[in-house]
Amino acid sequence: MASTFVNWLRSPKAREYFFSTHFWGPVANWGLPLAALADLRKDEEVISGTMTTALTAYSMVFMRFAWRVQPRNYLLFACHATNATAQLIQDARFVNYWYNGGREAKLTGSTVEAVKAGAQEAVDLTKQEASKVASSK
């Protein structure tokens, strides 16, 4: 198996492939899914539903193209399959955040944390002032 692959790598067919747009186009295109995967960690507030949906459709169209072109371009297909998957996840995050109560839950959670922090700060300040008053007597 390994020797077959090594033999292919040394062949003119491999050089032809690696110096073609059939290889370099998908390699250059990997910036899209890598950026989409990095965006999965970003806050839902910054997700654009319109752009995410457009990128999903774009990748699905090019997945079909990569499958239909002869010879099939598996590298391009994998690139756009990854991007479409990441964009669909982003779309789900967008819908959950804006339409299924995710934003309210996040705001409520951060509000509760802010109130707790404020209350603790007030208790700490009160204790400090009480100890100052007690020590000045």
Instruction: Give pLDDT tens digits for 115-131.
Output: 677 777 777 878 887 78
Report residue 123 as tokens. 């208790």
Q: Is 20 helix (H, G, I), strand (E, B) or coil?
A: coil
Query: Could you tell me which residues come within 8 angstroms of residue 76 by beta carbon, excluding any fewer than 6 positions away?
Result: 25, 26, 29, 62, 65, 66
Task: Give me the phi and psi of 72, to 5 degrees please.
Answer: -60, 140
- The answer to whether 32 and 52 have CB atoms below 8 angstroms apart is no
- The answer to whether 40 and 90 have CB atoms below 8 angstroms apart is yes
Q: What is the pTM of this model?
A: 0.68
Q: Where are the domains of the chain?
A: 30-100, 102-137
Q: What is the pLDDT along the chain (137 residues), one digit of tens a residue?
A: 578 888 878 888 888 877 877 788 888 889 999 999 999 999 999 999 999 999 999 999 999 999 999 989 999 999 999 999 999 999 999 999 999 888 888 888 766 666 677 777 777 878 887 787 777 76
Report residue 71 as tokens. 């010879």
| CA distance linking residue 88 with residue 32, whole number of Å | 14
